Chains A and B, each alone.
Chain A
Amino acid sequence: MNLSRPDRAQRLDALAAAYALGTLLGRIRRRLDRVAQTDPTVAAALRGWEWRLAALTEGIPGVTPPLHVWEGIRKRLGLTGEDESSRGGRTQSWWSSLSVWRGLALAGFALAFALGLLLLAPTTERPFESVVVVLAGPDAKPALVATAERGSRFLTVKAVAAEVPPGRALELWMLPDGRAPVSIGLVPATGIERLVLRERVGVALQNIPALAVSVEPPGGSPTGAPTGPVVYTGRVERIY
């Protein structure tokens, strides 16, 4: 890192970008950190990239941290005030205490609600014979398995280890690329059920990269869009 060269600005910008992205490692990262403390140009470059990229984290669905985190913070700081965290507790939804959502950042809470999925394998035009979708929660354990044959209009959904909160239903959604989720129907908490698609599987799932299951009121989402948390997701695996 020679910051006195004429192309300093450009090199600095590239370094700052790598720093903020997290790909800049080890000594050079620490050195940049140190230099930034005394050099405002370097500091501004780092902050600029951090902010540019940090803005992208707004798409990450939130996960309520365990209460003991706040307790620990208060303890470490020796804060004596009223336990404000109880206010946080009251604002939590009823489902936040269920273990099934623990660590849902990993599963991706609202998944496709922000926008459609873009899976990297380009959508193939090649006809497939059947599809298999393993829907899993944050622990990666399969909860539901959906299978279908190309020429059929039925999607067979088998509950492997699905968990349904009391008084709620599970609804299955197609997550088309770049468009809002499309409901397929309610899925069983136990056993096997066949859902009817509007078109044959070969057409209906042709451009669907993934399916997701959300928690909804009995009878399904009243709005036509998912209203509850997404608890299971899975890629549509095409078998040729």
Chain B
Amino acid sequence: MPPAPTDRSTRLAELLARTALSDQAAYAELYRLTASHLYAVALRILREPAAAEDVLQEAFVSVWHHAGSYSTAKAKPQTWLTSIVRNRCLDMLRRREPDTVTMTRDEDETEMDFEMPGPTAVELLLAGAEANSVRECVDQLDGSQKQAIALAFYQGLSHAELSRHLRQPLGTVKSWVRRGLERLKACLEGAGFTR
């Protein structure tokens, strides 16, 4: 059984603190405890093992240099690490695919991306919500809001790609995303969800 979340957070925070002091053993253990989750996050967005490996590597190199800044981040360690990885993934995704290209990306290729077996983005959204006891907040989103947010979040789809995938006008998907996020935030804050 994995340790309880708070034990784990405490442990990771400790490892980050020691990493900031250039403790190699702590850093190695940090990697051992978090790499599989972070790699999975990167794979999900980038869909290419080689790219996900690059991001993981860059992220950990950055963690080695910036572990000291964690103490001020006021986030759970895993969340802090996940943000680093996600940002790098999104940067890579957008670099790979400049703004204008997202509008003209080959339709077939895009469709193929959605044939991924396994849990859909919405399933992951719900699983993530469950893991954080914020399921109620995700549940209260409309199906379309849920789907648009999940696809953007877990698969890195842009508004233009969402629009094509969901076969809805751009303005419509934008508003699904925006309203969904607003509702999510209001609910999370109401539920006392903290960082």
Residues on A facing B (Cβ under 8 Å)? 13-14, 17-18, 21-23, 25-27, 29, 47-48, 50-66, 68-70, 72-73, 76-77, 79-82, 84-85, 87-88, 91, 102-109, 111-112, 114-115, 117-120, 122, 136-138, 140, 232-234
Contacts and interface: CB of A to CB of B under 8 A. Distances in A.
B126 interface: yes
B18 interface: no
Contact of A140 (B57, B102, B115): B115
B105 interface: no
A72 B57 contact: yes
Given A54-B82, A59-B128, A62-B36, A48 B195 contact: yes
A139 B127 CA distance: 23
Q: Which of A80, A91, A120, A232 has its CB near the most chain B CB atoms (within 10 A)?
A: A120
A59 B127 contact: yes
Contacts of B126: 59, 114-115, 118
Interface residues of B, number: 82
B122 to A, nearest CB: 6
Contact of B122 (A60, A79, A120): A120
Given A22-B156, A50-B86, A111 B123 contact: yes
Contacts of A55: 76, 79, 128, 132, 134, 193
Contacts of A109: 40, 118
B123 A25 contact: no
Contacts of B115: 140
Contacts of A234: 117
Contact of B61 (A77, A104, A108, A118): A77
Contacts of A52: 184-185, 188, 193, 195
B70 interface: no
Given A69-B53, A103-B43, A106-B43, A88 B32 contact: yes
Contacts of B87: 50
B29 A70 contact: no
Given A73-B57, A234-B117, A59 B44 contact: no
Nearest to B102: A25
Given A88-B31, A117-B119, A62 B37 contact: yes
Given A22-B90, A72-B57, A76-B61, A107 B117 contact: yes
Contact of B47 (A48, A51, A106): A106
Interface of B: 24-25, 27-29, 31-32, 35-37, 39-41, 43-45, 47, 49, 52-53, 56-57, 60-61, 64, 73, 75-76, 78-80, 82-83, 86-87, 90, 93-94, 98-99, 102, 115-120, 122-132, 134-135, 138, 143, 146-147, 149, 152-154, 156-159, 162, 177-178, 181-182, 184-185, 188, 193, 195
A91 B32 contact: yes
B123 A73 contact: no
A59 B47 contact: no
A207 to B, nearest CB: 16
B130 A59 contact: yes
Contacts of B57: 69, 72-73, 76
B94 A29 contact: yes
B158 A114 contact: no
B118 A233 contact: yes
B24 A105 contact: no
A140 B159 contact: no
Contacts of B37: 57-58, 60, 62
The 6 closest A-B pairs by CB, nearest first: A59-B127, A84-B28, A108-B118, A62-B36, A56-B128, A59-B128
B123 A105 contact: no
A67 B148 CA distance: 35
Nearest to B73: A47
A58 B78 contact: yes
A18 B158 CA distance: 10
Contacts of B134: 55-56
Given A55-B132, A65-B35, A65-B53, A81 B28 contact: yes
A120 B124 contact: no
